[in-house]
């Protein structure tokens, strides 16, 4: 004969522990306070473990008296491997002119290995000439990325001149980002800095990359502390609000079929 026994599931008793061990009563849910404390401890642990993630070799050398030698050497080896890998990727360094027949090979297929930045150009367009100049500078700064230029009229039949320049970024054979004219970037006042933000936004360049103008300026200014520097960088990389194009004759999207037909 079984006798029902009332059990307070919230009690921390030896009897409840025995019942839980045998699956008679469910496990006691974790305390919200304990969960919060564990989450905070985990966050602090991860922050400590990754504190050297954005340091370059020179900065790591300066920490020899402050960090564990074995831990520091691990990061040095990691940085050297990254530099070697980056050097192997530096295949380009200039803007490559391509034609319609080469588009599939030089752009779509090439984007499986690296980011490909394409300028659909129009020589008579002031913004297109500006973008051409900026692309040359970008290609020299980031030689691991592929920069291409193709005449818009030769690329897409009857492509509207009002859409030029058009900037398209490919990765893994897919269009990651496109800009119809420079309206969203700064118009006739678009700068190298504006284009660098685009590369960071799509993941082509790391936000901590010291080749970026913003990071070069921070070095020259002496920085403002590790946390302050990172906060300032995030603010400056925050995307600008997209300005609406008031020109009703401008087609603000490239038809995906047109992109697929570039090389047909």
222 vs 187, residue with greater confidence: 187
221 vs 139, residue with greater confidence: 139
User: Would you give the distance in Å from CA 202 to the centre of its chain?
Assistant: 5
134 vs 69, residue with greater confidence: 134
Instruction: State pLDDT tens for residues 16-45.
Output: 777 778 777 777 766 677 667 677 766 666
pLDDT at 205 exceeding the cut of 80:
yes
245 vs 253, residue with greater confidence: 253
Q: 84 φ, ψ to 5°? A: -65, -45
Q: What per-residue confidence (pLDDT) applies to 245?
A: 41
Q: Are strands 146-151 and 95-97 parallel, antiparallel or unpaired?
A: parallel
103 vs 86, residue with greater confidence: 103
pLDDT at 92 exceeding the cut of 50:
yes
Question: Please, what's the b/e burial string for 178-196 (b: 16 or more CB within 10 A of its CB; e: otherwise)?
Answer: bbbbbbbbbeeebeeebbb
Q: What per-residue confidence (pLDDT) applies to 243?
A: 42
Instruction: Kindly report the pTM of this predicted structure.
Output: 0.57
* Tokens, residue 31: 């305390």
Cis amide leading into 165 (omega within 30): yes
């Amino acid at each position: 004969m079984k006798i029902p026994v009332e059990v307070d599931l919230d009690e921390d008793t030896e009897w409840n522990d025995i019942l839980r061990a045998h699956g008679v009563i469910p496990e006691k849910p974790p305390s919200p306070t304990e969960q919060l404390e564990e989450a905070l401890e985990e966050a602090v642990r991860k922050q400590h473990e990754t504190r050297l993630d954005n340091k370059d070799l020179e900065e790591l050398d300066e920490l020899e008296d402050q960090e564990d030698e074995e831990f520091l050497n691990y990061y040095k080896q990691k940085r050297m491997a990254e530099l070697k890998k980056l050097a192997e990727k530096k295949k380009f360094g200039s803007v490559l002119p391509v034609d319609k027949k080469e588009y599939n090979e030089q752009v779509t297929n090439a984007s499986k290995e690296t980011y490909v930045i394409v300028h659909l150009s129009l020589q008579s367009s002031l913004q297109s000439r500006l973008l051409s100049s900026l692309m040359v500078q970008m290609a020299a700064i980031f030689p691991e990325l592929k920069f291409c230029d193709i005449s818009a009229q030769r690329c897409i039949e009857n492509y509207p001149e009002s859409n030029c320049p058009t900037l398209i970024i490919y990765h893994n054979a897919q269009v990651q980002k496109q800009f119809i004219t420079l309206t969203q970037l700064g118009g006739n006042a678009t700068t190298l800095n504006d284009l660098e933000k685009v590369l960071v936004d799509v993941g082509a360049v790391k936000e901590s990359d010291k080749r970026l103008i913003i990071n070069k300026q921070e070095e020259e200014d002496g920085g403002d502390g590790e946390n302050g520097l990172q906060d300032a960088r995030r603010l400056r990389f925050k995307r600008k609000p997209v300005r609406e194009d008031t020109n009703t004759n401008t087609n603000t999207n490239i038809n995906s079929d047109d992109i697929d037909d570039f090389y047909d």
